Amino acid sequence: MKVRRYVAAVALSAGGLSAPLLLLACSREESAPGAKPPAAQTDSAESGCGTAAPPSALTFEDVTSTCGIDFVHDAGATPEKHLPETMGGGAALFDADEDGDLDAYFVQGGPLPLPGGAPDRFAYPSGVRRPTNRLYANDGRGHFQDATERSGDAAVARYGMGVAVGDANGDGHEDLYLTVLGDDVLLQGDGRARFRDVTRTSGIVEPRWTTGAAFFDADDDGDLDLFVTSYVTIDLADPPWCGERKPGWRSYCHPDRFPGDEDRFWRNRGDGTFEDRTKEAGFSDPNGKGLCVLASDLDGDGRVDLYVANDSTENRLYRNLGGGRFEDATLLSGTGVDRYGRTEASMGVASGDVDGDQDLDLFVTGFDDESDTLYTNQGGMVFEDRTVQAGLELATRLPVGFGCLLEDLNLDGALDLCIANGHIIDNIALYHDGKTYAQKALVYRGDREGRFADVSGEAGVAVAREPLVGRGLLAGDLDGDGKADLLLTQCGGAPRVFRNVSANHGLIIAGLPFGTRVELLGALDIVLGVREAIPAPSYLGSGARDPRFGLHTGDLAHGLRLRVPGGSWQELKLAKPLQSGRIRVVREAGGRFALAP
């Protein structure tokens, strides 16, 4: 059964029927609730139903110098060109002090540790002063103050890589898991921006070079488990020489020079302590070279799946079978390699419904001369590489992509795409004409049909104005105006903060449990958009968890359809149709949802 998108929702809700019915024939077809819409067409022909509204501009301003964040990442660069010096730049946006706004946490690098013996593969020399991770508190208007000194153990002084955010012990406060070149760290938060190192009692022992991490409920028991990617095995005492042997020409080695290391799955025992259940859960990729992991319900069955981005080896897609068991669905899914059957140097990952068919697609960044890759979800855990058809192949070939976001940046109802770029080889210009170390970000405007237009060069897109050694890219409403602002981190440099000053306004759904799938409902229960309450990892990071929706011209939100991992759908009706604002949801006794007053 097909229904037409309802255009004049205001008139219908007021009881006027004749005018809206005249408009139905000139509106785009969509599926009725529960049915999947037809695949998006690849041509750009008009339907003949009048002139489409002009696309909304994506407009940002650089507020780095006035926002109060003065963090500078230290890559610990050495003449020996150790590979970890190229990768860092993790950060998180989350409400550390539970005052209703987003605070910022930055993972520091610093001097490299010395090579150590088993079980400590890496160790720090005594007496060496190391910079620490930093926490910045938000005043609710996008101005930050350094809160590191009063944050307890959050001031970690190790060679860090990334961070994952989640309530590991179920006390209602956000905790942090830090991936490190060496011993990883689990920090327990108290809701007042103070953290305590509970690694020793958590059961987690992770002394390797880890990179990406994700909290998620693997077995639908209500607590958060943890998946951690490990990159490669290196010898700091004897790094290989790559590049020409003349002054200034030594280069960082390709990861193919190093053996991969296996990812790990840590099951939560229910009390905030963990046990290694990697093999028992069905995870196996001993040569993966993982850099990012995304936890998302990619087949829509109510269980959270995992997608792992591997550097120059096959990516992995794990389907959740329930009960904490997973199967490797990579081969049949089509997401392990690109459209030519080649592995790529995958770094960052984003998910979102780019083509309006109510399932979640995947975007993966890669190295230069490869292009980034868009996998559109065909249903049944099958994906198709639609990079060329989406208009994303050409511009993404030259830069090296890291962090990425699928986010409705101009709040017009379509997911846009933003990519942080930056090479890993600081002297790349010596070897290749036209290639640079610092690179500009890319920004694309989506059209709700799976196609994108490159708007990086438009005047208002400050995100793409300056060449940077980009790594992480996170989205969140930093100033409380309902729009997604951007935080872009650099390897060996200062982050950049961009305030979203686009003209439109949207909806934020707050208070949802971790991993909740959200369908925003319009008139006649038409699904206007699909999101998940997960902190998007981008690259080595954790973005804001509250889902954000923009609405197409004429659309109004009438309700929500919600489902927690392992649960059933529940529908909530709004007291009145909305186009913008904040909807707060609470979970009552028995697990039922309700709208907060």
Q: Please enumerate, as own/partner, the contacts of 434-438 that have beta carbons within 8 Å and a separation of 24 or more.
A: 434/398, 435/368, 435/398, 436/467, 437/469, 438/467, 438/468, 438/469
- What pLDDT is recorded for position 6? 29
As a whole number, mean pLDDT of residues 582-594 equals 93
Over the range 65-91, which residues count as b (16 or more CB within 10 Å of their CB) and which as e? eebbbebebbbbbeeebbbbbbbbbbb
Residue 75, Cα to own-chain centre: how many angstroms?
22
Tokens representing 4 are 């037409």
- What pLDDT is recorded for position 16? 36
- What pLDDT is recorded for position 540? 98
Tokens representing 497 are 């903060």
Spatial CA neighbour of 328 closest among 347, 348, 310, 302: 310
Number of H helices, E strands in the chain: 8, 42
Taking the alpha carbons of 65, 66, 70, 72 in that order, is the dihedral positive or negative? negative
- What pLDDT is recorded for position 4? 31
The yes-or-no verdict on residue 182 having pLDDT over 50 is yes
Higher pLDDT, residue 502 or 117: 502
- What pLDDT is recorded for position 303? 98
How far is the C-alpha of 284 from the C-alpha of 27, rounded, in Å? Answer: 48
| pLDDT, the chain, mean | 91
- What pLDDT is recorded for position 590? 85
Higher pLDDT, residue 389 or 40: 389
Of the pLDDT bands very low, low, confident and very high (cuts 50, 70, 90), residue 51 is: very low
Of the pLDDT bands very low, low, confident and very high (cuts 50, 70, 90), residue 46 is: very low
Ranges of beta strands (E only) in 380-526 are 382-385, 401-407, 416-421, 442-446, 452-454, 470-476, 485-490, 496-500, 507-510, 517-521
How far is the C-alpha of 264 from the C-alpha of 198, rounded, in Å? Answer: 19
Q: How many Cβ atoms sit within 10 Å of the Cβ of residue 287?
A: 12
As a whole number, mean pLDDT of residues 419-437 equals 97
How far is the C-alpha of 289 from the C-alpha of 548, rounded, in Å? Answer: 32
Of the pLDDT bands very low, low, confident and very high (cuts 50, 70, 90), residue 128 is: confident
Of the pLDDT bands very low, low, confident and very high (cuts 50, 70, 90), residue 129 is: confident
The yes-or-no verdict on residue 14 having pLDDT over 70 is no
Write out pLDDT tens, residues 300-336: 999 999 999 999 999 999 999 999 999 999 999 999 9
SS (H, E, C) 206-231: CCCEEEEEEEECCCCCCCCEEEEEEC
Which H/E stretch holds residue 279?
A: helix 278-281
Instruction: Please answer whether residues 265 and 224 qualify as being in contact, where contact means their C-beta atoms are separated by less than 8 angstroms.
Output: no
As a whole number, mean pLDDT of residues 537-550 equals 97
Poorest-confidence range of 145-149, 285-289, 350-354, 584-588?
285-289
Poorest-confidence range of 7-11, 271-275, 490-494?
7-11
- What pLDDT is recorded for position 54? 62
Tokens representing 211 are 């990179």
- What pLDDT is recorded for position 485? 98
Bridge partner residues of 490 (DSSP): 470
Percent pLDDT > 90 in the chain is 86
As a whole number, mean pLDDT of residues 512-524 equals 97
- What pLDDT is recorded for position 117? 72
Write out pLDDT tens, residues 71-125: 999 999 999 999 999 999 899 999 999 999 999 999 999 999 988 776 678 888 7
DSSP code string of 323-381: TTEEEE-HHHHT-SS-TTS---B---EEEE-SSSSSS-EEEE---TTT--EEEEEEETT
- What pLDDT is recorded for position 53? 53
Tokens representing 181 are 């070149």
Of the pLDDT bands very low, low, confident and very high (cuts 50, 70, 90), residue 287 is: confident
Of the pLDDT bands very low, low, confident and very high (cuts 50, 70, 90), residue 472 is: very high
How far is the C-alpha of 247 from the C-alpha of 16, rounded, in Å? Answer: 78
Bridge partner residues of 301 (DSSP): none
The yes-or-no verdict on residue 267 having pLDDT over 70 is yes
As a whole number, mean pLDDT of residues 274-282 equals 98
Of the pLDDT bands very low, low, confident and very high (cuts 50, 70, 90), residue 190 is: very high
Write out pLDDT tens, residues 199-211: 999 999 999 999 9
